[in-house]
Structure formats: C-alpha cells, structure tokens
Structure 1
C-alpha cells in the first residue's frame, strides 16, 4: 500500500509544528492571536483540510508548494479569528472540501 513520501510527511510535520508554535503563516499571521482555533476542533480540522487539499507533489512525492498551502491555511485561520479579513483569491470548493 502506498504511503506518504518523506517530503509530504515533512511538509505536514512542519506545518503542524508552526501551527502549534504560533508561527504558521508568517507574515500574514504575525501578531495575530489565533489561539481560538485550538478551542474549536472543526476550525482546526478545516485548516488542515485546506493545507492538505492545496498541497501538491510530483510523481516522486516531492512537495512542490508547501508555502502556498501554508498561506491558504493561514488565510482561513485569519478569517476565522478576524471575520472582516478578506481571503484573496476566495477559496474554491475543492480547497475547503473535507474528505
């Protein structure tokens, strides 16, 4: 059975570390207290879903766009804690889909 490549595992681990360390999505989330996302499991789930849905990798499993996937997740987080924040470009359905 295929498994996530080391590159994909690294990208997810690093995203998780930055998220928990309150340093994800810099500079977009610099100075933004997003600790509320840890109080709402479905919001945290949505942030991970966006990150994973946007993440792309090549045939060898090498991640191609980790920073972009992180930024899109960070945009969701910012909108979650700051409802007036406008996500540009707006999320597409496939980006926010929960599997």
Structure 2
C-alpha cells in the first residue's frame, strides 16, 4: 500500500493548522470569526477539506504544485459560507466541491 507523498501530507497538515489557528488566508478572512461556523456542523468542516484536497495538485514526483491556490479556494468557500453577500470569483466548479468516499 502506498502512502501519500510527504509533500501532500505536509500541505494537508499545514492547512489543518491554519484553519484551526484562525490564520487561513488572513486578507480574505481577517474580519470573519469562521471557527464557530466550522465547528457547528461536521459537514461544514468536511466541505472545507474537500475543496482544499480537490483543488490541490501534485506532480509526477509527488510534489504539491498549487498549495496557495488550494488554500485560497477553501478560504473562499469559508467566506461565502460565513458571509452570504460575498461572491466567489470564479464560481466553484462542481468538481471543487465534490465529496468522495463511502
């Protein structure tokens, strides 16, 4: 069984840290206390991680090529969830918000 490449595991670990620490995309989320919203329902936090991992790209060597883009798209999802007046640009494609698994 293969493990996720180290770079992918690191990207997910840092993303989780930034979300939990309240420091994800500070410019986009600086005035939004998003943590209570994410903890109100497991499905909300689940979608944040789905967007991040769906957008995350890895090259043939297992190196992450767009960690900042993946974090930003997840931050846009959080912002839109917490602030109904915010419009995501560009709008999310279906594959970005798709939930995988059983």
The normalised TM-score by structure 2 is: 0.94
In terms of fraction of residues, the more helix-rich structure is 2
1:21-64: CA deviation from partner (whole Å, max 9, x where unpaired): 00012211112110211111111100000000000011110000
Aligned residue for 1:28, secondary structure, equals helix
Q: State the match for 1:94 in structure 2.
A: 95
5+ residue gaps, structure 2, are none
Q: Aligned Cα RMSD in Å?
A: 0.7
Aligned residues: 99
Contiguous gaps of at least 5 residues in structure 1: none
State the TM-score, normalizing by the size of structure 1: 0.96
Please name the residue that 1:53 is paired with. Answer: 54
Q: In structure 2, what is the Cα distance between the partners aligned to 1:24 and 1:65? A: 15
Q: Which runs of 4+ in 1 moved over 3 A?
A: none
